[in-house]
Amino acid sequence: MHSIGGVLSLCSGYFATILLLIVLQCSYTAVNAYEENDKFCIRTQPMLLADIEKHVNPIDDDPNCKVLATTLTTKEKDSFMEIMCKDHGTSYKDSYYFFKLRNGELRGRGSHKDICNGVKNPLLAWVPYNMVLENFAQELNPKEQLSYIGKATDVDRAKTELCHFSHTDLVTNITSDLFACIVMIFEDNFYGQDSNINVLVEIEPLMYELRNITYLPWVNVTTSYKTLLDRSSLNNPNSEPKQIYGSVKYGFVEKVHVNVSTIYNKNLDHLPLLFEHAGAVLELNDLGIGGVDVTAKAYFGRFMDPRTSVKVEVIGQWAEHHQQFNADVFDYFGYGIKRYRNEIHRGEVTFTRIESAEPVYETPDSTHLTSITLHSGEEKKFERLEMADTENFTQTPNWDVNTYYDSHPYPGFYPWFVAGSIAVAVVLLVVVFNMVRIWSKKEEKKLYKLAASSA
């Protein structure tokens, strides 16, 4: 059975574990990561001219989309590079701009020269002009003099062309009669708003996704306190001793902490991370902290006497595993859209989990022990022996010499042995005394004879 100190430490570990689980759960559920904006939608299938001719509303399929972005096709990307980077390349004075959106919010603007210089390979998309006008125009400075890249789709001529329109037209909400989107190639074709004007935008990543993770051989493990996982019992109802097995289920929140300083660099913003772990993709906050619910099962057993029962407490050991890993970094834009960016080496991650579980067996419960049956005579004898043992045990702490000798008399030969020893000693003394007296008389006679002869 546990000592008082062991019980207290066990209880303190138990409550500490509850507190830790609450903290881990809070850090997991309250992850400060981006939630995908359901008002901002990304579509990868562009609209056909036939659909535009039928006046199909681009948001009919999802009326909740306040901003709908449609990614560029491969043909449109090639056309963009051909026109913007060759005919309006970096050597020209004029710059043409596009908007940057992250999760449906305006994040800034970029120039076509950034793309032509190979500085970045952004995810480009089209947003209908009226959506840009309703959601982002009020955030712009009316005094700026810029030109934005767009495309005009003309049904009558069955063609789509890159064009650019004025910043002033957007912020002042110019009417359709005065609005003009100028064709990039010839600079002499003009399109109005009725020609299905779409504005070029860059969709910035919502998160970074770490995939294809490979862990390096180096690992450092540190252990902390043990904690109570569950209580159970083992029962052997049989009449023969045998090995009895049992199991308990327990759950905990495994904390995952990625060292973001090993992930972010000059090419990456401080965005939340999606981390591939345990067959799932975990959502971490911008500090690299998250968690995953874990359910486990602990097995235990012991050899037990017949018809006995024993209580069991299953104790778990918390441990921190510090590991290094390599991974591929993907940009995640929302709506399941991701794109490979680069790879990282020697990233660092710490897993806080219950490393192992072990049973602690308590004293068997007397109510489950086999009862003792005796014959009447033997039963009385057993009772007398039990009383005698109890009496000796209770008298031992108050032990007294006189009481002990009173209750334990001398053996029969002991007084005679003492008396005989005294008599022998007296006889020896008398003999020694007589021998000394006789020897003294003889010496005295010799002295007298010697004196007479001298005279």
Mean pLDDT, residues 202-206: 94
pLDDT value at 388 more than 90: no
Strands 97-102 and 197-203: parallel
N residues, the chain: 455
Average of per-residue pLDDT values in the chain: 79
Pick the more confident residue, 166 or 23.
166
pLDDT value at 5 more than 50: no
Write down the pLDDT at residue 51. Answer: 74
Pick the more confident residue, 31 or 181.
181
The span from the CA of 244 to the CA of 1, in Å, is 20
pLDDT band at 390 (very low <50, low <70, confident <90, very high): very low
404-414 residue pLDDT tens: 444 445 455 56
| CA 430-434-437 angle, 5° bins | 140
94-145 residue pLDDT tens: 889 999 999 999 999 999 888 888 767 789 999 999 999 999 999 999 999 9
pLDDT band at 356 (very low <50, low <70, confident <90, very high): confident
DSSP letter, residue 371: P
- In the block, tokens 């004007």 appear at 197
The span from the CA of 437 to the CA of 430, in Å, is 11
Pick the more confident residue, 173 or 325.
325
Pick the more confident residue, 184 or 59.
184
Write down the pLDDT at residue 17. Answer: 37
Write down the pLDDT at residue 436. Answer: 80
Write down the pLDDT at residue 379. Answer: 39
Contacts of 36 (CB under 8 A, 6+ apart): 103, 206, 334, 335
Mean pLDDT, residues 431-441: 81
Pick the more confident residue, 86 or 315.
315
pLDDT value at 452 more than 60: no
Write down the pLDDT at residue 377. Answer: 42
Domain spans of the chain?
A: 40-203, 206-368
Pick the more confident residue, 392 or 308.
308
- Nearest CA-CA partner of 333 in 199, 209, 207, 202: 207
pLDDT band at 195 (very low <50, low <70, confident <90, very high): confident
pLDDT value at 45 more than 70: yes
pTM confidence score: 0.64
Pick the more confident residue, 315 or 90.
315
Torsion of CA 110, 113, 114, 116, to 10 degrees: 140
Residues pairing with 203 in the sheet: 101, 123
Write down the pLDDT at residue 103. Answer: 93
47-60 residue pLDDT tens: 777 777 766 665 55
Write down the pLDDT at residue 310. Answer: 92
Contacts of 191 (CB under 8 A, 6+ apart): 152, 154, 161, 163, 180, 181, 183, 197
Write down the pLDDT at residue 308. Answer: 92
Write down the pLDDT at residue 71. Answer: 94
pLDDT value at 259 more than 70: yes
Q: Which two tokens stand for residue 350?
A: 């710490």
**Domain with residues 206-368, CATH architecture:** Beta Complex (2.170)
Write down the pLDDT at residue 288. Answer: 92
Residues pairing with 315 in the sheet: 228, 358
